[in-house]
């Protein structure tokens, strides 16, 4: 079993919470838990994904966690680096657990094949020109084999591999991967994180279908992710840059 230096050493474990991110955010208004403190729940009644989307998880089958970090050395304009580091970490853990080629779907979901197995929700608080603290929420589908119609593109480690996984073992692997990538970021290895993020980015250099907020669709080729996290796509009309709210990936279901 992999051992960490500080991530997950302090744990707040619950059977049910509305949201692990919300619990940790509320805890931060009252105290300062140590860096790497972990909040976990077997069930969430109001779990969230990016930009208000709902996170669907069967009770007791997956990993629902939030971690706190204090990257006060990280400038506010570089928050995207933390998102990249955490996405790469979750990808690392999924790839090692399954021995399958896991990919990152921009901005920070993790996919096995064309199906989503993990998602992240980062919430940063700023102090002046730097990040004061960051709450990193991770939902990782481990043993769930049935998903609601609202999540048609979901999968899990169990579905991908045809066997059940030991959740505590997967959690320890995940925490170790997160710590390794966070330490790389803290040690100034931004170039390595950027490179690894792009190496494992789903669809980079491939023609893909997308939808705009108005429902119209188009095809384009993702070319790069900019330092602020926006996606550069080569379309038939030329190069265009999108933030997450402006673009939806379309997958065959």
pLDDT of residue 76: 94
- Which among 158, 172, 178, 176 is positioned nearest to 100, based on CA atoms? 158
Confidence band (pLDDT; 50, 70, 90) for 51? very low
At 187-208, the pLDDT tens digits run 999 999 999 999 999 999 999 9
Q: Measuring CA to CA, which residue among 147, 65, 153 is closest to residue 105?
A: 153
Mean pLDDT for the chain overall: 94
Query: Helix, strand, or coil here: 223?
Result: strand
Give the pLDDT mean for 109-117: 96
In this predicted structure, what is the pLDDT of residue 49?
A: 53
CA–CA distance, 6 with 180 (Å, rounded to integer): 11
Residue 144 CB: number of other CB atoms within 10 A? 21
Q: What is the pTM of this model?
A: 0.94
Q: What is the pLDDT of residue 106?
A: 96
Domains of the chain from N-terminus onward: 11-199 (3.30.930.10), 208-249 (2.30.30)
| Alpha-carbon dihedral angle through residues 242, 206, 142, 197, given to the nearest 10 degrees | -70
Amino acid 54: pLDDT? 66
Residue 47 has pLDDT above 80, yes or no: no
Tokens of 99: 């021995």
pLDDT at 45: 87
pLDDT level of residue 150 (50, 70, 90 thresholds): confident
Question: Bridge-partner residues for 135, per DSSP?
Answer: 68, 123
């Amino acid at each position: 079993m992999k051992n960490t230096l500080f991530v997950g050493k302090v744990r707040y474990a619950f059977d049910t919470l509305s949201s692990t991110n919300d619990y940790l955010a509320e805890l931060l208004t009252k105290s300062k838990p140590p860096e790497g403190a972990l909040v976990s729940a077997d069930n969430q009644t109001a779990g969230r994904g990016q930009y208000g989307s709902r996170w669907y998880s069967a009770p007791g089958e997956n990993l629902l966690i939030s971690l706190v970090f204090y990257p006060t050395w990280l400038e506010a304009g570089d928050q995207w680096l933390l998102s990249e580091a955490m996405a790469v970490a979750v990808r690392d853990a999924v790839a090692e657990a399954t021995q399958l080629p896991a990919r990152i779907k921009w901005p920070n979901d993790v996919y096995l094949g064309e199906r989503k197995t993990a998602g992240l929700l980062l919430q940063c608080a700023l102090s002046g020109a730097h990040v004061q603290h960051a709450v990193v929420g991770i939902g990782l589908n481990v043993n769930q084999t049935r998903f609601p119609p609202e999540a048609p593109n979901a999968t899990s480690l169990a579905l991908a591999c045809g066997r059940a996984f030991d959740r505590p073992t997967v959690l320890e692997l995940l925490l170790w991967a997160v710590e390794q990538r966070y330490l790389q970021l803290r040690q100034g290895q931004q170039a390595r994180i950027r490179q690894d993020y792009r190496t494992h980015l789903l669809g980079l250099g491939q023609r893909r279908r997308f939808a705009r907020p108005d429902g119209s669709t188009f095809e384009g080729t993702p070319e790069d992710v900019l330092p602020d996290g926006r996606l550069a796509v080569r379309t038939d009309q030329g190069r265009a840059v999108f933030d997450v709210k402006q673009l939806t990936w379309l997958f065959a279901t």
